[in-house]
Amino acid sequence: MTQQQDLPPQARVIQMLEQFWLARSVAVAARLGLADVLAQRSRTVSELAEATGTHAPSLSRLVRAMVAYGVFREEGSEPRIALTELGETLVSDRPGSMRELLMTLIAGEHYRAWGDLDQSIRSGRTAFDIHYGTDIWTWYRQHPEAGEEFNRTMVAATAAVNQAVIEVYDFRRFRHIVDVGGGHGSLLRLALEQNPAARGTLFDQPGVIAEARGVIAAAGLAGRVELSGGSFFESIPAGGDAYLMKYILHDWDDAKCGMILANVRKAIADGGTLLVFDTVIPPPGTPDFSVLMDLNMMAMTGGRERTEPELRDLLGRTGFALRRVLPTQSHVSITEADPM
């Protein structure tokens, strides 16, 4: 594909449109489970349509696009459709699978909420709230199947981030690591693996902690990890010398973040360290994942991604001094802060 800067401006706009259509098409292929069927063996389009309960002439048009962009490939004279290396990432339940991510973020409730992004910008309200009449967290409680899909998406999406964090950050100086809103403890488990002398506390909503119990036990960490359920808007387990918050602050506006950080400040041990794992918006004019993720937060949760100065100010107002922002090989940076 031609580099954008080499194209006239009208062609660049068309290329942006093309990327939207392509992302939506790949998400539909993921939702239909095409890669799961092709992972078993190659199929003709008719066989693929029969296996997925789809309309063969319409499916053939989607498959043609997937072949054109390297998601699927044709083989043999019939031809038969097979997976490429890129298509393998759409297969469910494989390490590094992107299927759940695509289904959640470019289909379903996220896709529909983005349709009201203009109303967010006109009104200052969250697009999801406008479209569904309630906030995303309440909606997921009301629609548990969608909520479970979202949770699976978050688990899958964080695997690569966790590995990137472990590769650049040394957790071995800590004695007690508290993972705030840590889900099933995927990052905490890696930090404790790196630091066998430390113990951990996994803190999240009671329902999430109930699900995490078996995961922690299966990892052989039941004796090293305390499980604690509650709301980080009310209180946070005390006494840790490291507090981890991955994908937490970006979900909330400054007022809500202030409440969370104030509770961390009350809980953290003297000389402790706060570690925030979110994207950090670069200087103006820099194309970056973070500026689009910021729009996603405006559409979905009412939260935001932040620049380094914005993080410094937010942390300073809640009793923390930003020490450094450490990039990783993922889209997430590590913001390290000390209690003042």
Start-to-end CA distance of the chain, whole Å, equals 51
**Which residues have a catalytic role annotated?**
250
Whether 96 and 105 have beta carbons less than 8 Å apart is answered as no
Cα torsion 243, 249, 252, 255: sign:
positive
DSSP conformation letters of 76-95: TTTTEEEE-HHHHTTSTTST
DSSP conformation letters of 4-46: GGGS-HHHHHHHHHHHHHHHHHHHHHHHTTHHHHHTT--B-HH
Whether 36 and 29 have beta carbons less than 8 Å apart is answered as no
198 by Cβ neighbours in 10 Å (0-12 / 13-18 / 19+) ranks as buried
Closest to 226 measured CA to CA, from 192, 266, 199: 199
119 in helix, strand or coil?
helix
172 in helix, strand or coil?
coil
Cα torsion 93, 97, 101, 103: sign:
negative
